[in-house]
């Protein structure tokens, strides 16, 4: 199947794109876009991959679903388009960064600037129906993104995986901690941020690890 995705990912995932589950997933997703309002826009489903080629990955952040309200989702987990009000989890992420680095919170919730520095902002499920959280879970995306994690684990060195909340932490099973750095904390959602996300220091710890490995740090 010819999937429009950045070339290094196309090569890494070419076997995945030929599997029966992926064909079924594509049929389902195509039908959903025809009959319902689906986020993100179809052209941005693989935005995280297109902005962050495999050989540039330094950090992987795993989210759950795309945002499901108008104008928010654009293919990067936790990120929203310029001019869109910060969702609560993103607001808490920014609060933690501001606290760690003693700096003001950004004006924009668009995390493209992170992706372009080598942060893969990966949702476990890459599409969602408008106003219906989790509506595209269990259709095959999780199998696909599990295999994305396996490919990053196998092909890359010294990547920092930021696993926030129990859902993201399931992906730890696919990560070799002898060659990568895994940092775990509570989810930044208002329901759980005070149970271990605030004060986790993940952004400083990630940069300390990257520096130790001779990589350029992320400007958060």
> Of 27, 65, 82, 176, which one is the catalytic site residue?
65
Say if residues 118 and 112 touch (Cβ distance below 8 Å): no
Is 146 among the residues known to form the active site?
no
Give, in order, the Cα–Cα distances in Å from 35 to each of 28, 70, 126, 193. Answer: 11, 17, 18, 36
Q: Where are the beta strands (DSSP E) in the chain?
A: 38-39, 59-63, 119-123, 128-129, 160-164, 181-185
Q: For 145, phi and psi rounded to 5 degrees?
A: -75, -25
Q: List C-alpha distances in Å: 38 to 14, 62, 132, 133, 147.
A: 25, 20, 10, 11, 24
Residue 40 preceded by cis peptide, ω within 30: yes
Report, as residue numbers or ranges, the catalytic residues. Answer: 65
């Amino acid at each position: 199947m010819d999937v429009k995705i950045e070339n290094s990912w196309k090569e890494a995932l070419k076997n995945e794109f030929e599997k029966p589950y992926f064909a079924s997933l594509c049929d389902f997703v195509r039908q959903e876009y025809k009959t319902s309002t689906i986020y993100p826009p179809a052209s941005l489903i693989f935005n995280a991959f297109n902005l962050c080629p495999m050989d540039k990955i330094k950090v992987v952040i795993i989210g759950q679903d795309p945002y499901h309200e108008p104008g928010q989702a654009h293919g990067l987990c936790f990120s929203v388009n310029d001019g869109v009000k910060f969702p609560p989890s993103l607001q808490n992420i920014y609060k933690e960064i501001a606290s760690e680095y003693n700096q003001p919170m950004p004006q924009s919730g668009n995390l493209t600037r992170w992706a372009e520095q080598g942060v893969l902002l990966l949702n476990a499920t890459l599409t969602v129906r408008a106003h219906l959280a989790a509506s595209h879970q269990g259709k095959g995306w999780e199998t696909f993104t599990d295999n994305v994690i396996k490919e990053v684990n196998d092909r890359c060195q010294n990547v920092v995986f930021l696993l926030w909340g129990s859902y993201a932490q399931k992906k730890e099973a696919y990560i070799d901690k002898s060659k990568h750095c895994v940092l775990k904390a509570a989810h930044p959602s208002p329901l759980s941020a005070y149970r271990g996300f605030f004060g986790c220091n993940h952004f400083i710890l990630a940069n300390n690890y990257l520096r130790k490995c001779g990589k350029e740090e992320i400007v958060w």
